[in-house]
Amino acid sequence: MLRVLGVDPGLTRCGVGVVEVAPNRRARLVHVTVVRTPPDMPLEQRLLRIADGIAAEIDEHRPDAVAVERVFAQANVRTVMGTAQAAGLALHAAAARGLPVGLHTPSEVKAAVTGYGNADKRQVQTMIARVLGLDEAPKPADAADALALAVCHAWRLGSPDVAGSRPTNLTPAQRAWRDAQAGTADTPLARAAAAAARPQRGRSASSVGGPRLGA
């Protein structure tokens, strides 16, 4: 079983989710929480609380890898600054413990979980609940996004062939992601997954990107 901790970075709400994924790509929920800080708290204290929260989750659940949302600039510079700061805390916590880190764009995660790179937050919540076999969608959206990041990273660490999974074990979203990676399908789902999987050439942290997972 591969255990991955996902972090949906944010200053007010920082989602942290832990999943375990079997060789056949079946995933189960281990834990999910949201680290919260009040807007009126001094910035350094907010960052300290988030850092402590992420570190505590890593130390308690001992993941094999950490997945963090890749941050791009948006119209609201103040919001993206807070997101980037929280993401940096997650990267630091993982590096300090010698854990490998995966950075994934919102479109990558949406395509991996729903089969569609422009899925909205409700679709992500619904699909991550199905993937994890939950009775209801994780709330708030930050919690679902953290779990989706963890699942996306676990699935992308190895193809179904490497993991020994058969096609009949995969959900439609998983099959679309697999086929897109292999270049063997030409369906709307596979095309969306392929677009999300392509490297973001010529783009930097200051370039304009798509909406965040919870957008």
Q: Active-site residues: which are they?
A: 8, 69, 142
Q: Alpha carbon of 130 to those of 38, 52, 60, 173, 186: distances in Å?
A: 32, 31, 26, 11, 25
Rg of the chain on CA atoms, in Å: 16
Q: Residue 15 forms beta bridges with which residues? A: 8, 34
118 touches 110 (CB < 8 A): yes
177 touches 111 (CB < 8 A): yes
Q: If you write DSSP's letter for every residue of 15-50 in order, what string do you get?
A: EEEEEEE-TT--EEEEEEEEEE--TTS-HHHHHHHH
For residue 58, give the H/E element and its range: helix 43-61
DSSP 65: E
Order of strands across the sheet that contains 101-104: 27-36, 13-21, 2-8, 65-69, 101-104
